[in-house]
């Protein structure tokens, strides 16, 4: 049983991919609901917030550089953020949420809705073939998964 996936409410599974709805965009400021869609970052951060983590509203390169709210880790745990790209550049990287044993929950344009992929699925795709790294949100405001 996967506590992250089983504790995620049904509306999270129907969020449409909308690339223009990213952290800090005017669309998100005007309509903050995920019902209007999200990009990968906004979706991942809202998943973490659902579990009580104070995820920062950062674009991928800002997230990778951040040391105040997140830390780079070498081994993923549930609810860590995972960044992928076609190269090792964090600018424009794809962001997902580690759920367990090599599985990542993410929202991508290719599928259009949230999906869980094994790490091998990312490697098969040019745009996600490089694992940039893993970030852990430092402020865990409540018991996150259990």
Give pLDDT tens digits for 74-116: 999 999 999 999 999 999 999 999 999 999 999 999 999 999 9
Q: Does residue 36 lie within any of the structural domains?
A: yes
Domain that includes residue 21, residue range: 7-137
> How large is the average pLDDT for residues 52-70?
93
Cα 105 to its chain centre, rounded Å, is 7
Question: In this structure, what token pair is assigned to residue 68?
Answer: 């105040």
CB burial of 25-47 (b: ≥16 within 10 Å; e: otherwise) equals beebeeeeebeebbbbbbbbbbb
> How large is the average pLDDT for residues 16-30?
85
Report the distance separating Cα 120 and Cα 84, nearest Å: 12
Q: Does residue 118 lie within any of the structural domains?
A: yes
Report which of residues 73 and 23 the model is more confident about: 73
- Whether the pLDDT of residue 8 is over 60: the answer is yes
The pLDDT assigned to 138 comes to 94
Tell me the helix, strand and coil percentages in the chain, rounded to 5.
30, 25, 45
Q: Does residue 106 lie within any of the structural domains?
A: yes
The pLDDT assigned to 1 comes to 57
Confidence of residue 140 (pLDDT cuts 50, 70, 90): low
3-state DSSP assignment of residue 110: coil
Q: Does residue 92 lie within any of the structural domains?
A: yes
Q: Does residue 31 lie within any of the structural domains?
A: yes
The pLDDT assigned to 144 comes to 47
How many domains is the chain partitioned into structurally?
Answer: 1
Confidence of residue 3 (pLDDT cuts 50, 70, 90): confident
Is residue 34 within 8 Å of residue 21, measured between CB atoms? no
The pLDDT assigned to 24 comes to 82
- Whether the pLDDT of residue 146 is over 90: the answer is no
Angle at 138 between CA 68 and CA 7, to 5 degrees: 140
Q: What is the CATH number of the domain that holds 50?
A: 3.90.1720.10
Region class of 112: left (phi > 0), else alpha (psi between -120 and 50), else beta: left
């Amino acid at each position: 049983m996967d506590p992250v996936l089983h504790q995620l409410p049904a509306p999270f599974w129907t969020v449409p991919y909308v690339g223009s709805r990213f952290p800090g965009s005017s669309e998100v400021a005007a309509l903050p609901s995920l019902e209007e869609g999200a990009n990968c970052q906004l979706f991942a951060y809202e998943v973490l917030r659902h579990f009580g983590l104070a995820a920062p509203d950062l674009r991928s390169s800002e997230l990778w550089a951040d040391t105040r709210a997140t830390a780079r880790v070498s081994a993923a745990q549930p609810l860590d953020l995972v960044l992928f790209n076609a190269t090792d550049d964090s600018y424009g990287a794809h962001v997902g949420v580690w759920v367990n044993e090599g599985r990542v929950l993410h929202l991508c344009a290719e599928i259009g809705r949230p999906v869980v992929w094994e790490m091998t699925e990312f490697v098969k795709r040019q745009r996600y073939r490089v694992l940039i790294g893993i970030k852990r949100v430092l402020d865990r405001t409540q018991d996150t998964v259990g």
